Structure 1
Amino acid sequence: MFQIKCATTHNANILLQIDNSKLAADDFRIKYEHEVVMRQCVEADIANLRRLLDQTNLARCDLEMQLKSLEEELACMKKNHEEELAALRSQLTNTVNVEVDAAPQQDLNKILDEICAHYENIIQKHRREQEAWFKDKMEGLNKKVADNTECMQTSRSQLTELRNTLQSLEIELQSQLSKGRDYALLLDIKTRLEQEIASYRCLLENQDSKTQMQGPTIMIQSGSLSSGSCQAVPSSGAQSSCGSVGQTAQSKQTTPTSQHTY
């Protein structure tokens, strides 16, 4: 009975360990699914950031080409302006040489200086505007590129961490599955032990019932005997005692009226 109690307690402990392992396996499975979803989200964010980086690079190349074309246009305008100024100066010089009553040379130079100053102001204004616009665009693009690079590095580090976590969870899941197989084997052994215990219990109960029901009751009566009877005794002693009484009864038998009951 003590062995049966120990085996029952051991089986209860095994069942408790199996339940705990199932709960742990379910917990790890939920964590694994959550990490897979997070990994997919991070990969989608990385893909979006790469697409945005490509678009930013294309916009930067486009702006650089526009800046180059504007610089070429500015150089061409400056060259044309210088040519026009040279032509105007030559025309004014020829006019002064031909016409005696022309305006004084000082006034013509003043006019030319004013025209040159006006065009120079226009050119400088356009140049400052273009440089400011290009500077703002470049600063915005550089900021976007820096932000995208930082986000990409963060996403890569998160992806690396998620991959490491995923690998550790897979290892733990494999370990829990191995433990589950071991617990299943222990459960099979427990079932066999329970069957053996049940069979032993049945054998013990049958043995007890046989012990309680050993040997039939034998009664001997004789009309000529004064002490007259043989009560029920265990099977081993019943035959010897009752046999001796039978022999005594047979030796003292003198009349046909004697009776022997077994």
Structure 2
Amino acid sequence: RYQMEHSLYQLVEADICGLRRALDDLTLAKCDLEAQVESLKEELLCLKKNHEQEVHTLTCQLGDRLLIELDTEPTVDLSRVLEEMRCQYETMVETNRHDVEQWFQAQSEGISLQAMSCSEELQCCQSEILELRRTVNALEVELQAQHHLKDCLQNSLCEAEARFGTELAQMQCLISTVEEQLAEIRADLERQNQEYQVLLDVKARLEGEITYRNLLESEDFKLPCNPCTTPASSTPCPAPAACTPCPPCPSRPLQASRGPCSSPQR
């Protein structure tokens, strides 16, 4: 908008310069016409003087000749002829003067009208120039305000970028710390899982061993008190070389150690 108004301002300035040149040309033409009118007036006065001198000379000459010829024959009324000639010249001069005055008045009116129109256009152009100057000043103020706003926004943007950069760095550090903690927790979970698996295996083995011992103990309860004797004969059978008699069954505790007799069953 500023460029458009500036170009319009330059065009108006060019038009004003052209109008001023036209006004100067019209002023020069008016001066030339006035000089021509003055010269025509002077020429008219000179023609009148020359005419009067010629008339006076002719009058003098014809008057002498008239005095000479009066005695011979009647002559033409030279005074009447001269009067008619003088009237004709005066009529021609008056007509020329009237035409010149009319032409001068027409030219003067045209020049005055042109000058008035030029002055009106000049006033309009001056008012437009003032309006354009006010518009340019307002645009310059608005441009400065926009520049100030731009600087403020750039400063705010730089501060926000710096603040967000710092916060982003802190978040990156926090994320790195959390990732390290997660890695440690994952490693601890894996280690605990391995330990849990080991404990499960140990538990399974212990449960199997407990079950096996319970089965053995139940089998021990089912055995007779003296396994070396039989109901058919009352004579004891010869004991093996490495076998010793077992203690009485009622007096043996529940989880006592097995005797040598139980080793073959195992």
TM-score, normalised relative to structure 1: 0.64
Query: 1:113-192 maps to which residues of 2 (within 5 A)?
Result: 113-192=83-162
CA deviation after TM superposition for structure 1 residue 95, in Å: 3.2
Shift in alpha-carbon separation, 1:120–1:158, aligned structure 2, 3 A: same
8 Å Cα contact 1:96/1:102 also seen in 2: no
Query: 1:39-50 maps to which residues of 2 (within 5 A)?
Result: 39-50=9-20
Task: Give the distance between the partners of 2:62 and 2:108, measured in 1 at CA.
Answer: 45
Does 2:2 match 1:32? yes
CA deviation after TM superposition for structure 1 residue 208, in Å: 5.0
Task: Give the distance between the partners of 2:159 and 2:108, measured in 1 at CA.
Answer: 75
Looking at CA atoms only, which structure, 1 or 2, has the larger radius of gyration? 2
CA deviation after TM superposition for structure 1 residue 70, in Å: 0.8
CA deviation after TM superposition for structure 1 residue 183, in Å: 0.6
1:172-195: CA deviations, max 9, x gaps?
111101110111111112212322
CA deviation after TM superposition for structure 1 residue 68, in Å: 1.0
Structure 2: state its 5+ residue gaps: 208-266
Query: 1:106-117 maps to which residues of 2 (within 5 A)?
Result: 107-117=77-87
CA deviation after TM superposition for structure 1 residue 89, in Å: 2.7
1:21-52: CA deviations, max 9, x gaps?
xxxxxxxxxx1111111121112112222222
Shift in alpha-carbon separation, 1:102–1:183, aligned structure 2, 3 A: farther
CA deviation after TM superposition for structure 1 residue 61, in Å: 1.5
Structure 1: state its 5+ residue gaps: 1-30, 227-262
Instruction: Report the counterpart of residue 51 of structure 1 in structure 2.
Output: 21
CA deviation after TM superposition for structure 1 residue 73, in Å: 0.3
Shift in alpha-carbon separation, 1:148–1:102, aligned structure 2, 3 A: farther
Instruction: Report the counterpart of residue 77 of structure 1 in structure 2.
Output: 47
Does 2:47 match 1:94? no
Task: Give the distance between the partners of 2:60 and 2:18, measured in 1 at CA.
Answer: 62
**Secondary structure of 2:71 counterpart:** coil
Instruction: Report the counterpart of residue 74 of structure 2 in structure 1.
Output: 103
Task: Give the distance between the partners of 1:173 and 1:186, measured in 2 at CA.
Answer: 20
CA deviation after TM superposition for structure 1 residue 113, in Å: 2.0
Tell me how large the CA RMSD over aligned residues is. 2.8
TM-score, normalised relative to structure 2: 0.64
Task: Supply the AA of the counterpart residue of 1:63.
Answer: L
Q: Which has the higher contact order (CA 8 A, sep 6+)?
A: 1
